Amino acid sequence: MSGTATHWQNVWTTKQPEEVSWHQDDPALSLGMIQACALRRDAAIIDVGGGASVLVDRLVERGYVHVAVLDIAGAALQTAAERLGPLGDDVSWIESSVLDWRPVPGLFDLWHDRAVLHFLTEPADQARYVEVMKRALGPGASVILATFAPDGPEKCSGLPVCRHDSASLAALLGPDFRLVEEVLQEHVTPGGNVQKFQWCRFVRV
Protein backbone atom coordinates (compact mmCIF):
# COMPACT_ATOMS: atom_id res chain seq x y z
CA MET A 1 0.00 0.00 0.00
CA SER A 2 1.38 3.42 -0.95
CA GLY A 3 2.01 6.12 1.64
CA THR A 4 -0.98 8.09 0.37
CA ALA A 5 -3.26 5.06 0.58
CA THR A 6 -1.99 4.31 4.08
CA HIS A 7 -2.70 7.87 5.16
CA TRP A 8 -6.31 7.82 4.00
CA GLN A 9 -6.96 4.28 5.19
CA ASN A 10 -5.78 5.41 8.62
CA VAL A 11 -8.11 8.43 8.52
CA TRP A 12 -11.12 6.25 7.77
CA THR A 13 -10.28 3.60 10.34
CA THR A 14 -9.73 6.07 13.17
CA LYS A 15 -12.48 8.64 12.56
CA GLN A 16 -16.20 8.58 12.03
CA PRO A 17 -17.48 10.24 8.83
CA GLU A 18 -18.98 13.16 10.74
CA GLU A 19 -15.60 13.86 12.41
CA VAL A 20 -13.66 14.74 9.25
CA SER A 21 -13.50 18.39 8.20
CA TRP A 22 -14.98 17.82 4.73
CA HIS A 23 -18.10 16.05 6.02
CA GLN A 24 -21.48 17.29 4.75
CA ASP A 25 -24.84 16.18 6.06
CA ASP A 26 -26.44 17.52 2.89
CA PRO A 27 -24.43 17.67 -0.38
CA ALA A 28 -26.81 20.32 -1.73
CA LEU A 29 -24.33 22.12 -3.98
CA SER A 30 -23.23 18.88 -5.62
CA LEU A 31 -26.83 17.85 -6.20
CA GLY A 32 -27.74 21.25 -7.62
CA MET A 33 -24.90 21.15 -10.13
CA ILE A 34 -25.70 17.55 -11.04
CA GLN A 35 -29.32 18.52 -11.65
CA ALA A 36 -28.12 21.35 -13.91
CA CYS A 37 -26.38 18.74 -16.07
CA ALA A 38 -29.83 17.41 -17.07
CA LEU A 39 -28.67 13.80 -17.06
CA ARG A 40 -30.85 10.82 -17.84
CA ARG A 41 -31.45 8.50 -14.91
CA ASP A 42 -29.43 5.85 -16.72
CA ALA A 43 -26.42 8.13 -17.16
CA ALA A 44 -23.12 6.85 -15.77
CA ILE A 45 -21.81 8.94 -12.86
CA ILE A 46 -18.43 8.62 -11.13
CA ASP A 47 -17.83 10.26 -7.75
CA VAL A 48 -14.04 10.53 -7.48
CA GLY A 49 -12.84 10.42 -3.90
CA GLY A 50 -16.43 9.92 -2.78
CA GLY A 51 -15.32 7.90 0.23
CA ALA A 52 -18.01 7.81 2.88
CA SER A 53 -19.91 10.79 1.43
CA VAL A 54 -23.71 10.58 1.40
CA LEU A 55 -23.81 11.88 -2.18
CA VAL A 56 -24.10 8.32 -3.46
CA ASP A 57 -27.13 7.78 -1.20
CA ARG A 58 -28.84 10.84 -2.62
CA LEU A 59 -28.12 9.83 -6.22
CA VAL A 60 -29.50 6.33 -5.68
CA GLU A 61 -32.56 7.79 -3.95
CA ARG A 62 -33.14 10.01 -7.00
CA GLY A 63 -33.18 7.03 -9.30
CA TYR A 64 -29.73 7.14 -10.92
CA VAL A 65 -28.93 3.54 -11.75
CA HIS A 66 -25.29 3.67 -12.90
CA VAL A 67 -23.33 5.23 -10.06
CA ALA A 68 -19.69 4.50 -9.24
CA VAL A 69 -17.67 5.69 -6.24
CA LEU A 70 -13.89 5.69 -6.43
CA ASP A 71 -11.70 6.12 -3.38
CA ILE A 72 -8.17 5.22 -2.39
CA ALA A 73 -9.36 4.07 1.06
CA GLY A 74 -11.27 0.81 1.13
CA ALA A 75 -12.45 1.59 4.66
CA ALA A 76 -14.30 4.66 3.39
CA LEU A 77 -16.03 2.68 0.66
CA GLN A 78 -16.98 0.00 3.14
CA THR A 79 -18.58 2.62 5.40
CA ALA A 80 -20.70 3.91 2.53
CA ALA A 81 -21.63 0.44 1.30
CA GLU A 82 -22.69 -0.71 4.76
CA ARG A 83 -24.74 2.45 5.26
CA LEU A 84 -26.60 1.92 1.98
CA GLY A 85 -27.13 -1.78 2.50
CA PRO A 86 -29.14 -3.44 -0.31
CA LEU A 87 -29.67 -0.02 -1.94
CA GLY A 88 -25.97 -0.04 -2.78
CA ASP A 89 -25.93 -3.43 -4.47
CA ASP A 90 -25.82 -1.84 -7.92
CA VAL A 91 -23.23 0.82 -7.03
CA SER A 92 -19.73 0.19 -8.40
CA TRP A 93 -17.27 0.53 -5.52
CA ILE A 94 -13.75 1.15 -6.88
CA GLU A 95 -10.80 1.07 -4.50
CA SER A 96 -7.98 2.86 -6.30
CA SER A 97 -5.95 6.02 -6.52
CA VAL A 98 -7.42 8.11 -9.32
CA LEU A 99 -3.93 8.35 -10.82
CA ASP A 100 -3.65 4.55 -11.09
CA TRP A 101 -7.22 3.88 -12.22
CA ARG A 102 -7.79 2.47 -15.71
CA PRO A 103 -11.38 3.36 -16.64
CA VAL A 104 -13.27 1.93 -19.57
CA PRO A 105 -12.85 4.59 -22.28
CA GLY A 106 -15.82 6.91 -22.68
CA LEU A 107 -17.96 5.12 -20.11
CA PHE A 108 -19.01 8.05 -17.91
CA ASP A 109 -21.36 10.97 -18.51
CA LEU A 110 -20.42 12.85 -15.32
CA TRP A 111 -17.21 13.19 -13.32
CA HIS A 112 -17.75 14.60 -9.81
CA ASP A 113 -14.80 15.43 -7.56
CA ARG A 114 -15.15 17.29 -4.31
CA ALA A 115 -11.73 17.78 -2.72
CA VAL A 116 -9.45 15.24 -4.41
CA LEU A 117 -7.82 17.32 -7.14
CA HIS A 118 -6.48 19.91 -4.71
CA PHE A 119 -4.30 17.24 -3.04
CA LEU A 120 -2.37 16.89 -6.30
CA THR A 121 0.35 19.51 -5.91
CA GLU A 122 2.75 18.28 -8.61
CA PRO A 123 2.13 19.30 -12.26
CA ALA A 124 2.80 15.75 -13.45
CA ASP A 125 0.13 14.35 -11.13
CA GLN A 126 -2.34 17.03 -12.20
CA ALA A 127 -1.70 16.19 -15.85
CA ARG A 128 -2.17 12.49 -15.15
CA TYR A 129 -5.46 13.26 -13.39
CA VAL A 130 -6.77 15.07 -16.47
CA GLU A 131 -5.55 12.23 -18.69
CA VAL A 132 -7.53 9.70 -16.64
CA MET A 133 -10.58 11.96 -16.62
CA LYS A 134 -10.51 12.39 -20.39
CA ARG A 135 -10.26 8.64 -20.85
CA ALA A 136 -13.22 8.02 -18.55
CA LEU A 137 -15.59 10.56 -20.12
CA GLY A 138 -17.60 10.37 -23.30
CA PRO A 139 -18.40 13.21 -25.72
CA GLY A 140 -20.51 15.96 -24.18
CA ALA A 141 -19.87 14.70 -20.66
CA SER A 142 -19.92 17.00 -17.65
CA VAL A 143 -17.28 17.62 -14.99
CA ILE A 144 -17.91 19.04 -11.51
CA LEU A 145 -14.80 20.01 -9.56
CA ALA A 146 -14.56 21.47 -6.06
CA THR A 147 -11.19 22.52 -4.68
CA PHE A 148 -10.01 24.88 -1.99
CA ALA A 149 -10.23 28.45 -3.29
CA PRO A 150 -7.17 30.75 -3.43
CA ASP A 151 -8.07 32.07 0.03
CA GLY A 152 -8.93 28.61 1.36
CA PRO A 153 -6.83 26.36 3.60
CA GLU A 154 -3.23 25.61 2.66
CA LYS A 155 -3.43 22.13 4.17
CA CYS A 156 -6.06 19.48 4.83
CA SER A 157 -5.72 16.33 6.91
CA GLY A 158 -2.10 17.30 7.48
CA LEU A 159 -1.31 17.33 3.74
CA PRO A 160 -0.46 20.32 1.52
CA VAL A 161 -2.96 21.31 -1.15
CA CYS A 162 -2.93 23.25 -4.41
CA ARG A 163 -5.62 25.92 -4.29
CA HIS A 164 -7.49 26.88 -7.45
CA ASP A 165 -9.76 29.46 -8.99
CA SER A 166 -11.90 28.97 -12.08
CA ALA A 167 -9.13 30.21 -14.38
CA SER A 168 -6.55 27.73 -13.09
CA LEU A 169 -9.03 24.86 -13.31
CA ALA A 170 -9.99 25.81 -16.85
CA ALA A 171 -6.31 26.01 -17.82
CA LEU A 172 -5.65 22.61 -16.27
CA LEU A 173 -8.51 20.92 -18.15
CA GLY A 174 -7.62 22.65 -21.41
CA PRO A 175 -9.65 23.54 -24.50
CA ASP A 176 -11.55 20.24 -24.55
CA PHE A 177 -13.73 21.54 -21.69
CA ARG A 178 -15.91 24.64 -21.46
CA LEU A 179 -16.66 26.32 -18.13
CA VAL A 180 -20.43 26.73 -17.74
CA GLU A 181 -20.87 27.45 -14.02
CA GLU A 182 -18.80 28.51 -11.04
CA VAL A 183 -19.67 29.00 -7.37
CA LEU A 184 -17.65 30.13 -4.36
CA GLN A 185 -18.70 28.28 -1.22
CA GLU A 186 -17.95 28.73 2.46
CA HIS A 187 -18.04 25.22 3.86
CA VAL A 188 -18.54 25.06 7.63
CA THR A 189 -16.69 22.07 9.07
CA PRO A 190 -18.13 19.91 11.87
CA GLY A 191 -15.77 21.81 14.18
CA GLY A 192 -17.26 25.15 13.16
CA ASN A 193 -14.39 26.40 10.98
CA VAL A 194 -14.95 27.92 7.54
CA GLN A 195 -13.23 26.53 4.47
CA LYS A 196 -13.54 28.42 1.18
CA PHE A 197 -14.14 26.22 -1.86
CA GLN A 198 -14.11 26.96 -5.58
CA TRP A 199 -16.71 24.95 -7.51
CA CYS A 200 -16.71 24.71 -11.30
CA ARG A 201 -18.88 22.84 -13.76
CA PHE A 202 -17.49 22.07 -17.21
CA VAL A 203 -18.86 20.44 -20.35
CA ARG A 204 -16.69 18.47 -22.73
CA VAL A 205 -16.80 20.08 -26.16
Cβ neighbours around 42 below 10 Å, total? 10
Q: Which domain holds residue 23?
A: 3-204
Question: Whose CA is closest to 132, among 152, 150, 114, 117?
Answer: 117
Q: Spell out the residues 6+ positions from residue 30 whose beta carbon is closer than 8 angstroms to its own.
A: 55, 112, 114, 144, 146
- What does the pLDDT read at residue 20? 74
Q: What is the CATH number of the domain that holds 118?
A: 3.40.50.150
Q: Residue 10: pLDDT above 60?
A: yes
Domain count, the chain: 1
Lowest mean pLDDT among 11-25, 39-53, 80-94, 132-146: 11-25
Q: Read off the pTM.
A: 0.93
193 confidence band (pLDDT: 50, 70, 90): confident
Q: From CA 2, how far away is CA 99, in angstroms rounded?
A: 12
